[in-house]
Amino acid sequence: MDFERPDPDALLASIQKEEERRRRGKLKIFFGMAAGVGKTYAMLEEARRLQADGMDIVVGYIETHGRRETERLLEGLEIVPRQQIEYRGAWLEEMDVDGVLARQPELVLVDELAHTNAPGARHGKRYQDVLDLLEAGIDVYTTVNVQHFESRADAVRQITGITVHETVPDTLIDLAEDVELIDLTPEELRKRLFEGKVYTAERVHVAADNFFRVGNLTALRMMALRLTAERVDHQLQDYMELKRIAGPWKSGERLMVAIGPGPFSERLIRWTRRMAYNLEAPWLAVFVETSKPLADEAWAMVNRHLDLARSLGAEVMTVAGDDVPDALLRLAQQRNITQIIIGKPLHKRRIELFTGGSYVDRLIRNSGNIDVYVVTGDETPDARSTVALPALPKIDRHTGWRDYLLAAGIIGLVTLADFFIVPIAGYQLVGLTDLLAVLLVAVYIGRGPALLAAVLSALSWNYLFIDPLFTLQIFLPQDIALLLLYFVIALFTGNLTARLRIREQQARFNAERNLALFTLTHETAGAVDMDAVLTTAVEQVGRVFDAEVAILLPREDGHGVAPHPSSTLVMDEKEEGVAGWVYEYGRVAGRNTGTLPKALARYYPLRTASGIVGVIGIRRRSTERLPFDQESLLETFIGQITLAVERELLDEAAEQAALLRESERLSGVLLNSISHELRTPIASIRGAADSLLHPGTGLDEDAQHQLIRDILDASERLNRLVENLLDMSRLESGRLQPKREWCDIREIIGVAAQRLTTCLAERVLTIDVQPDLPLVKLDFVLIEQVLANLLDNACSYTPPGTHIFIAARERGGFCELSVSNDGPPIPDADLERIFDKVYRVPGPAVTGTGLGLPISRGLVEAHGGTLTAENHHAGGVRFIIRLPMPDEQPAVREAAT
């Protein structure tokens, strides 16, 4: 991976769009098809207007190209002096970023966004300076031409023949708050050119004949218009996504690009990305792995290409198959691909004569209704410089000198055996036994050793068994033919067998890989929550790669990542630091990488379209590097895990949103109910106090007492309401943790009954507790409160003189505590709804907050128990609390007295 030059797309993608944009400065791009359309002019005009409105504006860098109208507009604008940088004896001028930062204007004007800074400046590119300014909260106005956008650079080169070196990432367009297209017709622009308004006189004709040809300008204008139109489209789509207006992929297109180790693949990837972006289609980048071994450098290139595709939003896959077109088409059909993008090979290969045309031809011939785009690869200078020449193919990927020694040994043994065969069957048969040995070597050891075995056996046969013995000479012509034929057959079959073997291994590996992948997908899809997903992921990755695994998710306070408890990899502070780096920068780091290689494990970012959602750390038990196919399997695994994590995050977010809506609705209802409940007692307190203060004439002592009692009752009611509200909020905030200790249920009943003496005095209370009921572990205060609520409820809903019955017994591993009354039944439909907040059974008005039952249920559930209501068959309502019974009873000892 290239660490010195971070991919700007990847960096920028991680910048969260909407939220970030609010804190940052705003970027406005004045955008045109070519130099001279008047971008700088338009920018300055607008700046002057804003300055007149009182905005604090400075000029960071403006290039007037000696144009007089532009220079006039600069008058009256504050200019931050440019920075002088010495480079090879010359003084170059650049924008003084620190100067602008120190000046802290509201808006800075920076011309020519794509400009490359002089060596020695802080950043290589001016757009990086601009990003710094935006980061510091300063608004930036800038100008740029369409040919400078990275994704258009190829097209511009093809149209104009000019290689654009100064490019800016397309993501800058996304980042811009506002893009203003400065449009001129090609004719008008050429007119301006000839009027000397673009370049000085001596350059006009050169420019007019080259870049500024009408054809070029028309094409560039089209591009500029399209880019602007696309932006508008995407703004609409962003908006739709933001507002969760779901929609399927608009075009129904699915793109697939085939890539390889060649430098041209990078262009293919960018080409496909642009196309996918325009079509708003998902895309897939595929590498077909054949049994032909690739050099390490080539693997590295393939990897880099896959990384690039992934960072540009592709799904990345590696498939195995010796027949590339066949493998591509099979995958395309599986994935419902509608368009395949491939590169046109640079050189025709001679072998094509035998295999029926180039693979491109065959792909097109067999593609059916899938469109195939063949993109021309031309060798660009910078492409050539990065070509990694493939090394000579190794003879076999898995053989070492030991295997050759083994092959030689086997031939030695067979030759010994031949001494016994020759007297019986003649020397001709030796060839067949040797051939058997060569085949065995090919099957079990590999191609190289098989070839060695073929050579050795041919030599020994000739030397030891063919006349004249103990020479390498041969007399008889048929012996020469025999030996030659043997040699050819041995080489051919050895080679063939070895290839079969490799393919068979590959098939087996693929089957294993598919099984592993299937298991992972299946298991994570079935996982019920984030913890389950992560536990499964850690387990599967650990098993398949024989590794210790840690998954790290962002901390809730937003600072870095913390390992999930399911992790099997134990991490110290240093390791967590590496993971933190990966999380922050979105790049792989750790063991065997270019970044922080001293770490024990290797860390991969879990990257989604909206940013990094976590980090996975993997420490394999073996120190060997993963072979490429496994490395790519691991990447696929990580992709799967990322998807699962993202899915869970989305689920959680949706759940949160639903919860919020529900709680908003409830708090509305609650507020209504409470304001009623609050006002009533306040009204009676106030009324009673008023009457006492202004007694008038007719207030006798009895009436006065009655009023005072009313005040007391009302305040008692208020107090209960406040208690209920406090309990509710404690329950809902999740701060309520039952303080469990051993309790005697009888004692709880006693306390609750004592609390409600007044109401119980008017009713018949029966308490029936199983005599040997064991102690239960629970929070005394909370359960006592539940019981008191239920008793209070029973009192409120039944007339005086009725029965209330409290029972407690052990049943089926639960302690069952019930409160029954013989009052009117609750309609069956309401038996569950009475536990909803502020729900009340329709009927005669009863004072109360409507919170008692939901609170009680919450409290019981916090103990892992249940609270239900039922209509008693003998009449009346029964509330049943079921609390889990402990398995053992605590030890109790006498005091040492």
Partner 1 sequence: MSAGPRVLVIDDEAQIRRFLRISLEANGYEVHEVATGQDGINRAAQLRPDLIILDMGLPDIDGLEVLRRLREWTTTPTIILSVRDADIDKVAALDAGADDYLTKPFSLEELMARMRVAQRHTQPALQSHRFKAGNVEVDLSRRHVTRGGEPVKLTPTEYALLRLLIQHAGRVMTHKQILREVWGPEYVEETQYLRVYFATLRQKLEEDPSLPKLILTEPGVGYRLAA
The residues that touch partner 1, with contacts defined as CB under 8 A, are 715, 719, 723, 739, 741-744, 746-747, 749-751, 753-754, 767, 769, 775, 779-781, 784, 890, 892-897
Q: Which two tokens stand for residue 19?
A: 């939220």
- Residue closer to partner 1 by CB (options 329, 819) is 819
Whole-Å CA distances, 701 to 370, 688, 696, 705, 706: 99, 14, 13, 6, 9
DSSP secondary structure letter of residue 885: P
**Number of Cβ within a 10 Å radius of residue 552:** 26
Taking the complex as a whole, the smallest distance from the CB of residue 879 to partner 1 amounts, in Å, to 18
- Residue 643 vs 775, nearer CB to partner 1: 775
- Residue 79, token pair as written in the block: 């200019």
Contacts of residues 627-634 at CB distance under 8 Å and 24 or more positions apart, as own/partner, are 628/289, 628/294, 628/299, 628/302, 628/303, 629/289, 629/318, 629/320, 629/509, 629/513, 630/545, 631/303, 632/287, 632/306, 632/318, 633/513, 633/516, 633/517, 633/544, 634/541, 634/545
Q: How far is the CB of 811 from partner 1 (least distance, A)?
A: 20
Quick one: 537 or 745, whose CB is closer to partner 1?
745
| Minimum distance, C-beta of residue 716 to partner 1, in the bound complex (Å) | 8
* Whole-number Cα distances in Å, 822 to 337, 750, 754, 787, 868: 70, 21, 21, 17, 17
Considering only CA atoms, which of 531, 541, 591 is closest in space to residue 564? 531
Residue closer to partner 1 by CB (options 288, 817) is 817
- Please, which residue, 293 or 884, has the CB nearer to partner 1? 884
Rounded Cα–Cα distance for residues 311 and 774 (Å):
63
User: Coil, helix or strand for 138?
Assistant: coil
Please spell the DSSP secondary structure of 406-451, one letter per residue.
HHHHHHHHHHHHHHHHHHHH-THHHHHHHHHHHHHHHHHT-HHHHH
Other beta carbons within 10 Å of 453: 29
Count the neighbouring beta carbons within 10 Å of the beta carbon of residue 849.
24
CB of 139 or CB of 779, closer to partner 1 = 779
Q: In this complex, which beta carbon is closest to partner 1, that of residue 827 or of residue 890?
A: 890
Pick between residue 17 and residue 746 the one whose CB is nearest to partner 1: 746
Residue 849: CB minimum distance to partner 1, A: 17
Cβ of residue 769: shortest distance to partner 1, in angstroms? 7
Closest distance to partner 1 from the beta carbon of 822 (Å): 20
Structure-token pair, residue 44: 């300055």
Rounded (10°) CA dihedral 812, 817, 822, 824: -90
Q: How far is the CB of 749 from partner 1 (least distance, A)?
A: 6
> Smallest gap, in angstroms, from Cβ of residue 788 to partner 1?
10
CB-wise, 771 or 844, nearer to partner 1? 771
By beta-carbon proximity to partner 1, the closer residue of 320 and 775 is 775
Q: Is 16 left (phi over 0), alpha (psi -120 to 50) or beta?
A: beta
DSSP per residue over 314-381, as a string? Answer: -EEEEEE-S-HHHHHHHHHHHTT--EEEEEPPSS--TTHHHHTS-HHHHHHHH-TTSEEEEEPP---H
- For residue 537, the minimal CB distance to partner 1 (Å) is 41
Total count of residues recorded for the chain = 897
CB nearer to partner 1: pick between 247 and 771: 771
For partner 1, which is the closer residue by CB, 440 or 753?
753
- Closest to partner 1 by CB, 108 vs 778, is 778
Least distance to partner 1 from the beta carbon of 768, Å?
Answer: 9
Q: CA-to-CA distance for 60 and 763, rounded, in angstroms?
A: 87
Least separation in angstroms between CB 756 and partner 1: 11
Q: How far is the CB of 600 from partner 1 (least distance, A)?
A: 42
CB atoms within 10 A of CB 103: 15
Three state DSSP letters for 798-824: CCCCCEEEEEEEEECCEEEEEEEECCC
Q: Where are the beta strands (DSSP E) in 163-299?
A: 178-182, 255-259, 283-289
- For the record, the structure tokens of 180 come out as 């203003």
Q: How many whole angstroms separate alpha carbon 29 and alpha carbon 685?
A: 68
CB nearer to partner 1: give 514 or 847: 847
Backbone angles phi, psi at 115, to 5 degrees: -55, 140
Residue whose token pair is 């400046």: 121
Minimum separation from the CB atom of position 682 to partner 1 (A): 15
Q: How far is the CB of 762 from partner 1 (least distance, A)?
A: 16
Strand ranges in 497-588 using DSSP code E only, listed in sequence order: 547-554, 561-563
Measured distance CA(525)–CA(518) in Å, rounded: 10
Would you give the distance in Å from CA 859 to the centre of its chain?
A: 38
Give, in order, the Cα–Cα distances in Å from 745 to each of 13, 353, 809, 885.
61, 92, 9, 12
Q: Closest distance between partner 1 and the C-beta of residue 692, in Å?
A: 15
The answer to whether residues 188 and 33 touch, using CB atoms and an 8 Å cutoff, is no
Please, which residue, 305 or 717, has the CB nearer to partner 1?
717
Region label for 252, one of left (φ > 0), alpha (ψ between -120 and 50) or beta (otherwise): left
**Shorter beta-carbon distance to partner 1: residue 394 or 739:** 739
Q: Which residues contact 851 (CB under 8 A, 6 or more apart)?
A: 724, 725, 727, 728, 837, 838
CB of 679 to partner 1, least distance (A): 19
- What is the C-alpha separation between 516 and 637, in angstroms, rounded? 9
Q: Which residue's CB is nearer to partner 1, number 443 or number 718?
A: 718
- C-beta of residue 783 within 8 angstroms of C-beta of residue 748: yes
Nearer to partner 1, 500 or 726 (CB): 726
For the beta carbon of residue 443, count every other beta carbon within 10 angstroms.
15
